[in-house]
Structure 1
Amino acid sequence: MRPSPLLCATLVAASFAVYPIATPAATQASAPPTPMVASKRTPAAEIDALIDKVAHAKGVVFIRNGTEHTATEAAQHLARKRKAAGDRIKTPEQFIDKLGSRSSMTGKSYRVRLPDGREMDSATWMTGLLEEVRATR
């Protein structure tokens, strides 16, 4: 004799009442919080994050070969240089040193003017940004 569909549905419903399905919300609510473990970003991901920080730098003026540029323009320029360099740039430090610190055409150092009017070499400023990127892993 086959059990009726109603009996099957009742048994299935009853089993869920006893053994709830583990959903992400249920798992999070019942599990103790896990400590934050710094995820290891790849060097390429760190370079991406660094370029993004440059792009979103508020009130910062980039001076390249005597011409002023916005943060967005500077980030676009750095992204183009990175693409042209291909796989020769392997670390964020190489990126800053080889691409973000001076003109490959003139050899002249890039400068950054901060919102408070102070100027510094872009390599120094970008190294500080890299520290921020790494602190937020």
Structure 2
Amino acid sequence: MKRPVHLAGWLLIAALSLGVCAYAADASALERQKIDYLIGSVEGLQGAEFFRNGKSYDAQEAGKHLRLKLRLAGSRIATADDFIRLCGSVSSMSGLPYQIRFSDGHTVSSEAYLRQKLAEFDRVGSGASNSRPRLATSTRAQGG
């Protein structure tokens, strides 16, 4: 008689685990969507310069670099916040912060810009509707 009880217990645990796994997969998909949005925001900055280790790069090169760092970071990046902290803020070689100079001449840290964009994404929503946050290239980021 104990066997059916144990089997029912294991089935309950398995069912609950599947629910947790499904939630984790949804959370991971949302975080990936946020990270893709952040990188796309950088790539969409027309006329901006991305400064890394004292050298200037255009928006497309900056996006390529961020994608490379994301790929190399692997499983250390679980959230958009992880991405900003570990990939998008400072050089892992020199420790120098990344900077973005906009076409109007003002400069902000890439961390401030990415955090502004993440807040914008969260404010507008996760993309459940088809609306996506606009890329605000002339908005001054705070905290730079």
TM bracket, shorter-chain basis: 0.5 to 0.7
* Per-residue CA distance 1:62-117 (angstroms, 9 max, x = gap): 00001000111101100000001111111111111111011001111111101211
For residues 8-47 of structure 1, the aligned pairs below 5 Å read: 42-47=30-35
State the secondary structure of the residue aligned to 1:42. helix
Pairwise CA RMSD = 1.8
> Percent identical across equivalent pairs?
37
Q: Does 1:52 align with 2:36?
A: no
Give the alignment's TM-score, normalised by structure 1.
0.67
The alpha carbon displacement at 1:57 in A equals 1.3
The alpha carbon displacement at 1:60 in A equals 1.4
Q: Does 1:69 align with 2:69?
A: no
Counting matched residue pairs gives: 99
The alpha carbon displacement at 1:134 in A equals 2.4
Q: Does 1:122 align with 2:96?
A: no
* 1:111 matched residue in structure 2: 99
State the secondary structure of the residue aligned to 1:112. strand
The runs of 5 or more residues in structure 1 that have no matched partner are 1-39
State the secondary structure of the residue aligned to 2:51. strand
83, 96, 112: which one aligns with 2:71: 83
Give the alignment's TM-score, normalised by structure 2.
0.64
Partner letter of residue 58 of structure 1? Q
* Structure 1 stretches of 4+ moved >4 Å: none
Cα separation, 2, equivalents of 1:45 and 1:88? 17
* 1:94 matched residue in structure 2: 82
